[in-house]
């Protein structure tokens, strides 16, 4: 074994312990950083081949690993926009240049433009409901847009879909007069209800819905614009029915059997609306309305924002109505611990981590999204202090090896004296 090799090995050991101390310093400094994942230094030996019975000392190499897959403890807050992932998955964020990253740091707050930005300045990305129900792009970030919620402008949404569930009396008999679809002044019906819908400007439109028995297990459904009714009565309605359809029930089970289970019409001044009637029954009791829903909202500013465990961001308006705005996805990789850490507590995929896959919360192995909570760092201060003491002593021991080698080198150089 050469003295030079001995000194080189001591330097290698000191460098390894210095790397270990660096991770300890980073962990302690970020022990209160939201979503931070502790790093650790892993050592492996470097063996040099020996020749002629002589031992050649090698050294130690260092590999830095991050405990990305280890979840930190959640702390609950009073802010709806504080988000945490309970389980596997990462939020997708982007920087000012539009580059996407992964993060567990969900301390998001609205900026001046209403975009949700975390403490490091990264914008939260999600899929918008502007073009219908979103679907995740499994192998890429395409389709994601920054979440932007502004309460400064008035918005109105026309009604486009609705649902009605209830019961029609099985003992009803057809009326003697004309059916409502005839719009005759003497029209007769079995049951009636009304629904509220919204036109393109957010104006409320009251719709009269008539259910009329036409025989054993058959019913006519007709929809009218209430504002067109004859003053002091109902029929006839100016312009006639908005739409009419027929329902057929199984007289044994009381359930719909026909191909028709909905009615479609255009809301006056608004858009086409499809009213789902598939949950209507015909049983031996009176006319009952179990539930009636129609989407859309009147002109209003956003009063409150709610975020569900499935990642859907809802806006609640002054009239109490809600509207889905965005759906937050979660990203994951095969080996989270091999992700490459970047400044700002974010990660990018590496060759060892595997490709990024995107889905929605509670799908597959992805966790749920918790609103009003933050994930603390997974740093254990007591463990870090212990590692610091052990690294300090190991560093000192390696320095003694180097010092001994240096002293012996002086002896060797001065032999001829």
Compute the average pLDDT of residues 341-369. 92
Compute the average pLDDT of residues 359-377. 93
Q: pLDDT, tens digit, for every residue of 99-121?
A: 999 999 999 999 888 899 998 99
Q: pLDDT, tens digit, for every residue of 150-175?
A: 765 677 889 999 999 999 999 999 99
CB contact at 8 A, 221 and 209: yes
The whole-angstrom separation of Cα 230 and Cα 209 is: 16
Using alpha carbons, select from 19, 2, 8, 4 the residue that is nearest to residue 46.
8
Instruction: Please give the mean pLDDT across all residues of the chain.
Output: 90
Compute the average pLDDT of residues 290-298. 90
Q: Residue 51 has what pLDDT?
A: 66
Q: Residue 4 has what pLDDT?
A: 67
Q: Using 50, 70 and 90 to split pLDDT, how confident is the model at 411?
A: confident
The whole-angstrom separation of Cα 390 and Cα 386 is: 6
Q: Residue 155 has what pLDDT?
A: 77
Residue spans per domain, the chain = 3-67+378-413, 74-153+301-375, 157-299
Compute the average pLDDT of residues 371-378. 94
Does position 322 have pLDDT exceeding 90, yes or no? no
CB contact at 8 A, 170 and 254: yes
Does position 380 have pLDDT exceeding 90, yes or no? yes
Q: Per mean pLDDT, which range of 235-239, 375-379, 411-415 is the poorest?
A: 411-415
Q: Residue 153 has what pLDDT?
A: 65
The whole-angstrom separation of Cα 187 and Cα 236 is: 8
DSSP state of 356: -
Q: Using 50, 70 and 90 to split pLDDT, how confident is the model at 1?
A: low
Between residues 7 and 283, the one the model is more confident about: 283
Query: Which runs of E-coded beta strand occur in 118-259?
Result: 123-128, 145-146, 155-157, 161-169, 191-198, 204-215, 218-225, 243-248
The DSSP bridge pattern shows strands 373-375 and 74-76 to be: antiparallel
Structure tokens at 276: 């789902």
User: Furthest-apart CA pair in the chain: how many Å?
Assistant: 133
Dihedral pair phi/psi, residue 194, rounded to 5°: -130, 150
Q: pLDDT, tens digit, for every residue of 188-220?
A: 999 999 999 999 998 999 999 999 999 999 999
Percentage of the chain beyond pLDDT 70 is 97
Among 56-60, 90-94, 318-322, the range with the most confident prediction by mean pLDDT is 90-94
Q: How many residues does the chain have?
A: 417
Q: Which residues lie below 8 Å from residue 151, measured CB to CB, with a gap of 6+?
A: 114, 301, 302, 303
Helix, strand or coil, per DSSP, at residue 159: coil
> Is the pTM here over 0.85, yes or no?
no
DSSP state of 380: -
Q: pLDDT, tens digit, for every residue of 304-315?
A: 889 999 999 998
Find where tokens 């025989």 sit. 215
CATH number of 157-299: 2.60.98.20
Q: pLDDT, tens digit, for every residue of 9-49?
A: 888 888 999 999 999 999 999 999 999 999 999 888 877 77
Dihedral pair phi/psi, residue 226, rounded to 5°: -60, -30
């Amino acid at each position: 074994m050469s003295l030079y090799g001995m000194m080189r090995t001591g330097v290698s050991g000191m460098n390894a312990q210095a790397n270990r101390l660096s991770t300890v310093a980073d962990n302690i400094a970020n022990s209160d950083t939201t979503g931070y994942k502790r790093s650790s230094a892993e050592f492996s030996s470097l063996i040099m081949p020996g020749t002629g019975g002589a031992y050649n000392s090698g050294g130690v190499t260092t590999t830095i690993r991050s405990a990305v897959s280890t979840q930190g403890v959640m702390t609950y807050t009073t802010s709806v926009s504080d988000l945490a992932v309970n389980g596997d998955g990462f939020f997708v964020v982007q920087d000012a240049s539009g580059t996407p990253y992964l993060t567990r740091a969900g301390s998001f707050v609205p900026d001046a433009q209403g975009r949700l930005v975390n403490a490091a300045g990264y914008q939260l990305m999600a899929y918008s409901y502007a073009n219908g129900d979103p679907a995740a792009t499994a192998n890429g970030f395409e389709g994601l847009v920054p979440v932007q919620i502004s309460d400064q402008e008035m918005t109105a949404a026309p009604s486009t879909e609705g649902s009605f569930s209830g019961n029609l009396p099985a003992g009803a008999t057809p009326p003697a007069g004309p059916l409502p679809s005839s719009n005759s002044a003497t029209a007769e019906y079995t049951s009636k209800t009304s629904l509220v819908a919204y036109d393109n400007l957010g104006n409320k439109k009251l719709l009269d819905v008539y259910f009329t028995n036409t025989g054993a297990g058959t019913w006519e459904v007709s929809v009218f614009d209430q504002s067109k009714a004859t003053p002091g009565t109902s029929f006839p309605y100016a312009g006639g029915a908005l739409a009419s359809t027929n329902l057929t029930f199984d007289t044994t089970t009381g359930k719909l059997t026909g191909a028709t289970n909905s009615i479609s019409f255009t809301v006056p001044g608004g858009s086409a609306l499809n009213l789902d009637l598939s949950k209507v029954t015909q049983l031996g009791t009176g006319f009952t309305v179990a539930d009636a829903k129609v989407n859309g909202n009147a002109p209003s500013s956003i009063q409150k924002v709610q975020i569900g465990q499935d990642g859907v961001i809802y806006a609640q308006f002054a009239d109490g109505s809600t509207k889905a705005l965005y759906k937050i996805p979660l990203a994951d990789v095969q080996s989270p611990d091999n992700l490459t850490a970047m400044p700002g507590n974010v990660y990018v995929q590496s060759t060892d981590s595997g490709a990024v896959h995107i889905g929605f919360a509670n799908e597959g192995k992805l966790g749920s999204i918790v609103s009003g909570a933050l994930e603390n760092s997974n740093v254990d201060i007591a463990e870090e202090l212990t590692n610091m003491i052990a690294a300090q002593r190991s560093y000192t021991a390696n320095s003694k090896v180097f010092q001994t080698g240096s002293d012996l080198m002086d002896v060797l150089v001065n032999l001829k004296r």
